[in-house]
Amino acid sequence: MSEAMQRMRPMPDAAVLLAGSAFVDPGDPTGELGNPFAVVLGGDVADWDAARRSALARRTGTPETVFIDAFDPAPGDDGWSSIEVAVTVLTPTGEHLGACAHGIMGAVRALADTVSSSGAPHRFKITTSTGVRTQALLHPDGAVELGFQALEARHVAGCGPAVDEVFGVAVSTAGSLPILSVGSPKLTVEVPGATLDMLRARLDRLDYDRLMSLQRDVGVNGIHVYSRDPATGLPACAIQVNAYLGRALVVDRATGVSHAAQVGGDPAVEPGRRLRIAQYTQAGCSAVIAVTKGHRGQVTVGGATTLAEPRIV
């Protein structure tokens, strides 16, 4: 543990919960896009035991509830403030998450609003309870970017039939499928746009138990299915399903780490390319995710977030 991490201190005052959504589209007239999160900070949150944290994560019902365990703000020398943060991210079932996006984006917004109301840009270094680290930038316009390192793809053979069983229709004809990750491994399947549309129409008929079995067998926490824009050949649309959040949240509304992993390992995307990818549920577009591929496996993912008024917990 670094000296800066040792200097971290719990935030003062009463513990509060802030709800919100990440990967929203500022131009969406309905305001319904994005993936919900909850952030808990202040008071004695750092001292809460596992049972209390799990109970609150279950009550929020969001895919990711982020507990701010400690933070250490320091002035930067380039106009940016620098903030080191320790967090615990829990699913509604009490599972600890490492690499994740929308919950950490919400934590970044919540912390920045707490540390400063000046609108100055902030740079964050974040460590999760699982030891996974990421960096985040909060721009003056409120957009949040997370930086990840794409890991080398791992291929698994013979799981196409299992994927077909999960969705109840033919999905993949590939002999082997890649597992792509920036710290959160996903079985990744490329399909034509027409197939993606067909899968969207059937998302209420997923075989949850088969999905859970597949995740356990190949060591992933979801299936990331995407299609390309036929004009550009670049990733354009995606859906993701997972079983680790429980039956009520099998279809993920938005998952930045999956897009970061897929784009980071995609040979069709040249370094420096910035993409806006639409993620879908059965109801339609659920999120708009910005992904930029860097050099040597670096990739950033982010977008806009919203925050509701805090309430004491």
**pLDDT score at 76:** 56
Indicate the average pLDDT of the chain: 87
For residues 283-288, give the mean pLDDT. 91
Q: Specify whether the backbone of 148 is left (phi greater than 0), alpha (psi in -120 to 50) or beta.
A: beta
**Based on the structure, what is the number of domains in the chain?**
2
Confidence band for 2, pLDDT divided at 50, 70 and 90: very low
Assess whether pLDDT exceeds 80 at residue 55.
yes
**pLDDT score at 11:** 57
Do 67 and 185 belong together in one domain? Answer: no
Do 17 and 86 belong together in one domain? Answer: yes
**pLDDT score at 80:** 62
CA-CA distances (angstroms) from residue 72 to 4, 9, 11, 47, 85? Answer: 7, 7, 10, 17, 7
| DSSP string computed for 271-306 | TT-EEEEEEEETTEEEEEEEEEE-STTEEEEEEEEE
Do 177 and 84 belong together in one domain? Answer: no
Here the CATH number for the domain that contains residue 201 is: 3.10.310.10
Do 43 and 128 belong together in one domain? Answer: yes
Match 């997923």 to its residue by tokens.
Answer: 206
**pLDDT score at 238:** 97
For residues 293-310, give the mean pLDDT. 91
Dist CA 171 CA 176 (whole Å): 13
pLDDT tens sequence across 106-154: 999 888 877 654 555 678 889 899 888 888 988 877 788 999 999 999 9
Assess whether pLDDT exceeds 80 at residue 27.
no
pLDDT tens sequence across 254-279: 889 999 999 999 999 999 999 999 99
Do 146 and 8 belong together in one domain? Answer: yes
Angle CA 207–101–298, to nearest 5: 110
Q: Which domain holds residue 282?
A: 154-296
Mode of pairing for the β-strands spanning 284-293 and 274-281: antiparallel
Do 43 and 65 belong together in one domain? Answer: yes
Looking at this protein, which amino acid is placed at residue 167? F
Do 127 and 145 belong together in one domain? Answer: yes
pLDDT tens sequence across 161-178: 999 999 999 998 888 999
**pLDDT score at 247:** 85
Confidence band for 217, pLDDT divided at 50, 70 and 90: very high
Do 307 and 283 belong together in one domain? Answer: no
**pLDDT score at 3:** 41
Close Cβ partners of 273 (under 8 Å, ≥ 6 residues apart) = 234, 292, 293
**pLDDT score at 111:** 85
